Structure 1
């Protein structure tokens, strides 16, 4: 079946640039932002346009106050200011809603692309790496950690641009009116980002601790649910104390993060209030005649100008305040980046190939499988990630030649290297020494995609129709091809009994499958995929005698014009094979031809 291969380090597939001490989470988050399209720029544009509308709103408020309190103007002369105020309020509300929508859309696109890339990387790294990860950890990465990026892209990242642009725009408006007021705003503004930096150092650390605690809680619950049957059999199903302890630890971590976020917001509000009060005190003393400075031409400061500046003052600090409010989103995102970046790489959406992508890119022959003539292993050795150099390899040195059409049984005790050999051929582990070649051409990453089909002991049945499950092996297959594959896999009678035929739903809530039916469903997929080499891992394990006989009949048909490699301990499968290979300690200890006999269950 089509697949891409993993990186050389299966146990820890970290990209060198993402795992190095020089890795900067902020830069990695910026590379993801490219998937947001034009929505981030739309959000920023709406905020800037709203600031321009704010100038009209501030003017209308100041004009109304000046006209009513000082000049005693009639309502008829003030109606233009009233109309501008109503229009500006409505327009700012609409722009605020559009900005929020654009930020959310950008975040959705980025998170969707990142989840797709994560799932793609899981497939590239292969089953060995996935099986070594806890299922709760994988789910936590795909859902919770990716979800934690929402606040960063929807709120914090656009706000970092606005926190610099909007204050500069307002300063450009205030300074020509009163340089003292502009100076007060310019001097007090840095207090907010300085405090944010101090808070951010602690927030990132606590956010990462919260992710770790969430991962631990998920692992605990998953282990508890998985082993619930065993715990109940031994009378240990009541484990409320342990569940309560894990939940309490996670709750404490969460409250620490929230406490820090609330504290930062309170302090930011305090600094903002003090700064606005300082500006108001200056303007008040200026009107009282105690602070006669700040104007450019020594002209007296009017009430309209003072109110205009005071209305703009809260909006001057508002971008900085919002940046502080959303600063915890940056801490959460950077904590998630430290865990996700080593998996997806430092440039997950880059179109240019990185050195690691060279190892994981699918071969050019992915859509055109190469016919198998001769598969040869010459002094091949395989070492698992983290294995010490002075320890024996997991497989090898092994020399072996397989020719087209052979049906080979591979036997050996547990740990003999059988599964490692299959993973080597599938490209999930790499050759440490020696050479693997196909038809005389050396291979560096296992067999080309489409050349081999793998049938394991466990059949994955997805929630979907029978046709959907079969088309995993050949998406463009017609209904006739699906029915022919079912017949070859000895499932024709079962298919005929289904209430809706190929449209019958399987999986959770659908048509149940017995162990033998599920195994033959895997064989039907192998018939559909029609690869020249079929790798089978204990195809009749845990089956009753009748189901085993049906699987053997299907295997006979599967091996008529294909090369079969069967990992098995079952003597009932040996009559299917022409050759027996026995491994021990990763080495070849027996390679002999078998006498052709009729296997049990042959029709």
Structure 2
């Protein structure tokens, strides 16, 4: 990426980050107003305390006015602080909810996404990055609006009671923006490293859970444990680095704040003792001096909060690319989404795919046409690229070179997730009833639609034997169903989706000969008029196809008519 591209990306990230605050902006602005009121009421509270201190030191009883001002101001300040916290919480919640809603729309196959998102990045963006952005806005937006008002109010009151103290505060505040800028620059690098380390750890954990049986069988659990430990160590190191930088910038700010408070305390103390006298300054009294000292630390509190927001801002900016990369981009006008059930012809034009870490392309120079309504089998040895080819056709991956198109009577489109029915080697069954698991194919399907899908998948006899029919609950992982029966549920789901293209990856794997034969019959019945592309090692499934493609070393080496039985 060139410097200009990096600059443009940074500007776009900042614009997106600013726009993300819209759902909670009204609440956060209300929080800002409450913070300004809290400052005003706290000044009133300290004024009451100064009055009481003056009375006590003079040997008198605290005046009712002083007590009323102290407790009244304290109660009002506490109420404003509570209201501000509530408004911030609501604003934060609304921003995070809006981001997650957009992420869900982008992650689910809703008809516009053309590639499958990285699961680790998706999980981290949904769980953590959305909160990072919401936290930043909840922290910074109220502070940006309330800080100028609060600081100006404190400076004005200090100038009224003792303007030399206000001058000291103003001079000290000139050093704060430089420190805040340095804090932001330090935080940027650390936030990027922390986000990358977090994504890496999430990927290692996710891959470990996915491949746990394989790792155990290969005796590779120890190596995976070491890799997991390294990823966790990297995240710990980057997190500690961010904390160290925040602590360093905070320490610099503390030095400036402490120096200004000490300078004011020295000036006020010497003035009360009569050692210092500035002619144009108002006479120093205990009330004036004590009030100036009490509100002096309040002057720097908004700056401290905004300095902390610099760190959260850089963390939020580091999260923006991960989130925006998962959001759905509108389809171009040249691409038309085929309606459900429309006949689909699949065309691959000089398609190649090379994975980033691979020396050789997995697929190279593929030119294929699968005509609408045909049954096409893709055969070849393991590792030849059959599953990768199916992922290109289904829109799970985008080719490195060439184009994959779906042609229909009403137009053409690039493959998109959710636009075709996919059946793989394993059927995922969720806790719930059989009907609920089938309804995943089309959530708004009626009972009659589900019964038609059951009949098309050859599942009617199985459902009839169950005590509660379609309402029979399934345990986690599909308790009570055989592999073949679970595969029929996958067929029923696909039928219910009414997709014009079916992509099948070893749909009869791990089945005995009788069950395989039944599944093939169910598939042929359910896909009448549909375009079917199936990758398989099964001779029986190959014989059932209309056309056979042979795939070896990522290239098509033969195309012939299949022999139907």
Whether the TM-score (by the shorter chain) exceeds 0.5 is: yes
Residue in 2 that maps onto 1:352: none
Q: Distance in 1 between matches of 2:363 and 2:235?
A: 39
- Structure 1 residue 313 and structure 2 residue 311: aligned? no
Q: CA deviation at 1:186?
A: 1.0
- Structure 1 residue 329 and structure 2 residue 307: aligned? no
Q: Distance in 1 between matches of 2:279 and 2:335?
A: 71
Decide which of 514, 517, 520 is 2:485's aligned counterpart. Answer: 517
Q: CA deviation at 1:44?
A: 0.9
**Conserved 8 A contact 1:395-1:420:** no
Residue in 1 that maps onto 2:193: 209
Higher relative contact order (CA 8 A, sep 6+): 1
The change in CA–CA distance for 1:516 and 1:37 in structure 2 (over 3 A counts) is: farther
The change in CA–CA distance for 1:362 and 1:514 in structure 2 (over 3 A counts) is: farther
379-388 vs 276-285, greater mean Cα deviation: 379-388
Q: Distance in 2 between matches of 1:242 and 1:420?
A: 27
Aligned ranges for residues 134-283 of structure 1 at < 5 Å? 135-233=119-217, 237-238=221-222, 247-283=232-268
The change in CA–CA distance for 1:242 and 1:580 in structure 2 (over 3 A counts) is: closer
Q: CA deviation at 1:524?
A: 0.4
What SS class does the counterpart of residue 175 from structure 1 fall into?
helix
- What whole-Å deviation, never above 9, does each CA across 1:495-515 have from its counterpart, x for those lacking one? 345455434444637635433
Q: Distance in 1 between matches of 2:286 and 2:139?
A: 36
Residue in 2 that maps onto 1:443: 412
Residue in 2 that maps onto 1:285: 270
Decide which of 555, 558, 583 is 2:526's aligned counterpart. Answer: 558
Q: Distance in 2 between matches of 1:192 and 1:511?
A: 64
- What whole-Å deviation, never above 9, does each CA across 1:516-540 have from its counterpart, x for those lacking one? 2222111001221223332322221
Q: Distance in 1 between matches of 2:315 and 2:409?
A: 52
Q: Distance in 1 between matches of 2:517 and 2:51?
A: 93
Q: CA deviation at 1:312?
A: 1.8
Residue in 1 that maps onto 2:374: 406
- What whole-Å deviation, never above 9, does each CA across 1:219-271 have from its counterpart, x for those lacking one? 44445555544554455545666665554454344333333334444443333
Residue in 2 that maps onto 1:29: 17
**Conserved 8 A contact 1:380-1:431:** no
TM-score (norm 1): 0.79
Q: CA deviation at 1:164?
A: 3.0
Q: Distance in 2 between matches of 1:313 and 1:490?
A: 80
The change in CA–CA distance for 1:523 and 1:584 in structure 2 (over 3 A counts) is: same
Q: CA deviation at 1:551?
A: 0.9
**Conserved 8 A contact 1:46-1:98:** yes
What SS class does the counterpart of residue 511 from structure 1 fall into?
coil
Q: CA deviation at 1:172?
A: 3.0
What SS class does the counterpart of residue 43 from structure 1 fall into?
helix
Q: Distance in 1 between matches of 2:226 and 2:549?
A: 52
Aligned ranges for residues 59-208 of structure 1 at < 5 Å? 59-70=47-58, 78-123=63-108, 129-130=116-117, 133=118, 135-208=119-192
Q: CA deviation at 1:417?
A: 6.4
- What whole-Å deviation, never above 9, does each CA across 1:476-507 have from its counterpart, x for those lacking one? 21223223322332223433454554344446
Residue in 1 that maps onto 2:502: 534
The change in CA–CA distance for 1:535 and 1:32 in structure 2 (over 3 A counts) is: same
Residue in 1 that maps onto 2:342: 371
Q: Distance in 2 between matches of 1:62 and 1:313?
A: 14
**Conserved 8 A contact 1:264-1:325:** no
Residue in 1 that maps onto 2:36: 48
TM-score (norm 2): 0.84
Q: CA deviation at 1:49?
A: 1.5
- What whole-Å deviation, never above 9, does each CA across 1:271-295 have from its counterpart, x for those lacking one? 3222112112222333344443375
Q: CA deviation at 1:582?
A: 4.1
The change in CA–CA distance for 1:531 and 1:324 in structure 2 (over 3 A counts) is: closer
Aligned residue-pair number = 558
What SS class does the counterpart of residue 345 from structure 2 fall into?
strand
569-578 vs 48-57, greater mean Cα deviation: 569-578
- Structure 1 residue 572 and structure 2 residue 546: aligned? no
What SS class does the counterpart of residue 508 from structure 1 fall into?
coil
Residue in 2 that maps onto 1:382: 351
**Conserved 8 A contact 1:536-1:565:** yes
Decide which of 281, 285, 291 is 1:302's aligned counterpart. Answer: 285
Q: Distance in 2 between matches of 1:572 and 1:103?
A: 63
The change in CA–CA distance for 1:437 and 1:431 in structure 2 (over 3 A counts) is: farther
Give the root-mean-square deviation of aligned CA atoms.
3.9
The change in CA–CA distance for 1:508 and 1:35 in structure 2 (over 3 A counts) is: farther
Q: Distance in 2 between matches of 1:45 and 1:245?
A: 47
What SS class does the counterpart of residue 409 from structure 1 fall into?
strand
Q: CA deviation at 1:93?
A: 1.5
Q: Distance in 1 between matches of 2:394 and 2:487?
A: 20
The change in CA–CA distance for 1:214 and 1:427 in structure 2 (over 3 A counts) is: closer
Q: CA deviation at 1:188?
A: 0.7
Structure 1: state its 5+ residue gaps.
1-11, 349-355, 598-603
Q: Distance in 1 between matches of 2:214 and 2:421?
A: 35
What SS class does the counterpart of residue 440 from structure 2 fall into?
coil
Q: Distance in 2 between matches of 1:249 and 1:99?
A: 37
What SS class does the counterpart of residue 330 from structure 2 fall into?
helix
Q: Distance in 1 between matches of 2:150 and 2:236?
A: 38
482-491 vs 578-587, greater mean Cα deviation: 578-587
What SS class does the counterpart of residue 143 from structure 2 fall into?
helix
Q: Distance in 2 between matches of 1:45 and 1:109?
A: 19
**Conserved 8 A contact 1:382-1:393:** no
- What whole-Å deviation, never above 9, does each CA across 1:79-134 have from its counterpart, x for those lacking one? 2332232122122122212222222222222223323333443446869644xx4x
